[in-house]
Structure 1
Amino acid sequence: MHSNNFNLSRYLRRINYTGHLAADSATLNTLMRHQLFSIPFENLDVQAGKVVSMAPDDIADKLLQQGRGGYCYEVNGLFAMALEALGIPYRFVAARPMFYPARRPKTHMAVIAEVEGRQWLCDLGFGSYGIRAPMALDLLDTDIKQDFDTFRLSHNAQGGYLLQADVEGEWSNQYSFDLSPQEWIDFVPANYLNSTHPEAIFVQKLLIIQHRPEGRLILLGDILTSITASGIEKQQLTKDDIDDVLKNRFALSVS
């Protein structure tokens, strides 16, 4: 994933990271968490009636220069730029969201990185129950605790993988995927669907998610939800409240 205006130093400043850098699992883990906690998942462009740009230069400019966030193609695309700059092999995979009442196409993008002889699922753009650190693909049917969340990977009936999250004591299917490598252009139709289709959640409602070490902050429509280990707090917002929350809680421009 190459962008002419991606700069690794600028990326590291954007994600507030100054530590160790190498093509190893420690760097992979730390970079994913720093980006996750620094760059929000957001659909402001879709809500403004725009089709999200898949041009790598536009993504780097939006997330690094403009201080914006984005949804899966953008935040995972940016992460792939950092992996490429560090010489970490990776591939894009197409994933099928599983939490809808009806079967959906493979509209989600995730990244499989390879370090230290192992393959790792990396995903910074799945929203509320997205993973919070890389997950090794060879560690199956094992409860993996990440901060206050618990996940597990297993094989599905088709020989691919199924990601589940513990949601209120029950295992909830999040998405399935296989290791067929996808080219960047393969996600253009899915991006158009997510940007324009009236049944897409991104078209229907404002959705902003900022993961933090202690929890996550979610704005869905006019409901602001704060989730931490101590509980869940919800607040209904007015239009003026939303503008203030975008600016002061998510550090996003409302212009």
Structure 2
Amino acid sequence: MKSVLITGANRSIGLETVKQLSKKGLFVYLGSRDLEKGNEVADELKKNGYENIKAIEIDVTNSNSILAAKKIIESEQGKLDILINNAGILGTNPQLASDTSIEEIQKVFDTNFFGVINVTQAFLELLKKSESPRISNITSGLASLTLHSDPDWKYYGIKTASYGTSKAALNAYTIALAHELKDSPFKMNAIDPGYTATDFNHHSGPLTVESAASFIVKHTLTDENAPTGKFFSNDIEDETEESPW
């Protein structure tokens, strides 16, 4: 049975991804900063027929928490097949480039960028023990520099000095590590679940969490011929589903 760790998985898109991967027969580690809340969610899922789910405490901004989670998974599984870096924060609004404080930008980067790097580097050892390791970095369409430069893009007017820039940095890291691992079985991609109605955006997005999670699962459970180092978006309406960087 393949195992997967999903950070920030106790609600919204992360939680729905837990459900869908559980139904596909994976053992799912439901990552949550608050273990009590994570256990409550996992228990509720089990009552509703979902199997092979375990809540695990992991704060992506805390190295000790990350290493503790790694030790648990290593002792129970011996390896990790899939890492889905889903944990993220929006930051305060508005996020004007002219006056958003360095402290606020750093706070968002600590979770959305440095947190992903900390988790990924910590779990690479266990992922390398898998026959088909996968890393999915959950990003945003607001990370696309090309689209942000296009006045005809439907979200052109939405600029975020903290959130979008942190996700653009995450995309750049995804490219760098995917290239480093290109001659191995690893597949690593940046995946934008699309503008989804969640607590994150006061339920303003047009897409559902079910659609968002399904898109993540589709581009994570891939075969050996799948691409790596790509940026896929649920908001791109063509057959490739590939977004410009």
TM-score > 0.5, shorter chain as reference? no
Higher helix share: 2
Q: Which category describes the TM-score, using the shorter chain as reference length?
A: under 0.3
- TM-score normalised by length of structure 1: 0.25
